[in-house]
Each structure stands twice: as C-alpha cells, then as structure tokens.
C-alpha cells in the first residue's frame, strides 16, 4: 500500500476504489497530456504526432505501475467456507483471525493492512494466532508480531496448533472470519485482495 492509496483510504474510499482510482487517475493524466500536446506542438508528421501522443498517454500509467505494480491477487476474493468443529473451539465470537507462524515475513507484512482495517472499523476484533509448539521461544515469536501490531491487534499462541495449521492448509498467513456458529470463511494470502478486504470490513461493522 503506497501513500496515494493510504490517502484515499483515510479519506473514506473503499479498499477496491483506493486501488483503482490511482490507475484511473494516471489514465486521465495521460488524456490531459495528449490534449495539451496537441495545443502546444504543431507537428505536420502524423507518425511523429501519433508516437508522441502514445508515449504521453501511457507514460503516467507505466511510471505509476513501476512504483505500485498490480499483482495477481490484488483484486481477489476467493474465500472458502469451512464448517466449524469442536476442535476449533478457540475461534469464538465475531472476529477476524490471522493464522500465522513464527518469523513469517508475509504474516508480518499483513499487520499493516490489519491495523488500517482496525482504524477504519474500531469495533472490529482482529487477532493473530501464531501456530507454534516451541514453548521455549514462544515469547520472542509473540513479541515480534506484537511490536508491530501494537495495542490494536491481539497476538497469541494457538491453543490447538495442529488444528489451526490444518485449517490454514499449512499456508500462512490465512485469514479466517468467524461469526458465532456460522460456517467459517477463510482466505489464503493470495486470495485476500482488496475486494475481500471490503467484504470483511462490511461484515465486521
């Protein structure tokens, strides 16, 4: 998430619109550049004129794409429903759980989005569940996430490590939305794009 997207999110735009608007803005800038180019330059050669117009049209978009590239999962929302079982009793209430493992850079990176989500929906409950049976180093694992999460997001060890890892299909981070006894909705990291963020935000309100 770059500063342009953050500005839009802080201004109240949805996650999806905050991702789309910057690219749409670059296209608009490209169109304006072509109009200004026509007024300033009086070229007789159609080929040179066409080449310059093409360059000025695509250049803003290309430059922004280089700064903030679009990845395959950025707009995804491919959730999977899972029936809640007795072995998942630690997943309670109406809450978004982030299943993680120690020293996972992708899990750590996701904290930024979770903090923004919490700021946008203060009533939302978000919890990091670290899947590890290493009790000796547990404190350092939790501290690593807690130092970034601050007080906005609770971080704890999984009670049933095996079951939580199985729920995540051993792919971390996995995002699990719990709403009482309803079927769980889960996303792996590649399927948890801005469209999914909009859905989760609405469900946590």
Render pLDDT for 134-173 as a digit per residue (tens, 0 to 9). Answer: 989 989 999 999 999 998 899 999 999 999 999 999 999 9
Averaged pLDDT score across all residues of the chain? 92
Selection from 107, 196, 202 nearest residue 127 by Cα = 107
The pTM for the full model equals: 0.87
Quick count: other Cβ atoms within 10 Å of Cβ 79? 19
Instruction: Give ranges for CATH 3.40.30.10 in the chain.
Output: 80-204
Using DSSP bridges, classify how beta strands 174-179 and 184-188 pair: parallel, antiparallel or unpaired.
Answer: antiparallel
CATH of 80-204, one of 2.30.40.10, 3.40.50.10490, 3.40.50.620, 3.40.30.10: 3.40.30.10
Strand order in the sheet with 94-100: 80-82, 184-188, 174-179, 94-100, 126-130, 154-157
Written as six digits, the tokens of 116 are 């923004």
Render pLDDT for 65-87 as a digit per residue (tens, 0 to 9): 998 888 878 999 999 999 999 99
């Amino acid at each position: 998430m770059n500063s342009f997207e953050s500005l839009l999110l802080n201004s109240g735009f949805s996650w999806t619109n905050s991702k789309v608007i910057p690219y749409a803005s670059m296209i608009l800038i490209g169109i304006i550049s072509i109009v200004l180019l026509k007024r300033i330059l009086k070229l007789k050669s159609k080929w040179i004129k066409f080449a310059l117009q093409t360059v000025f049209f695509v250049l803003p978009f290309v430059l922004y794409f280089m700064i903030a590239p679009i990845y395959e999962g950025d707009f995804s929302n491919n959730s999977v429903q899972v029936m809640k079982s007795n072995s998942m009793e630690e997943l309670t209430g109406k809450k978004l759980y982030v299943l993680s493992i120690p020293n996972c850079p992708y899990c750590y990176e996701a904290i930024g989005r979770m903090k923004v989500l919490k700021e946008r929906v203060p009533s939302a409950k978000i919890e990091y569940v670290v899947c590890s049976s290493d009790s000796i180093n547990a404190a350092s694992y939790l501290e690593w996430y807690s130092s970034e999460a601050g007080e906005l997001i609770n971080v704890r060890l999984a009670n049933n490590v095996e079951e939580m890892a199985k729920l995540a299909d051993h792919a971390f981070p996995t995002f699990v939305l719990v709403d009482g006894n309803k079927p769980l909705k889960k996303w792996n990291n590649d399927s948890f794009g801005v469209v999914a963020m909009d859905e989760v935000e609405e469900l946590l309100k």
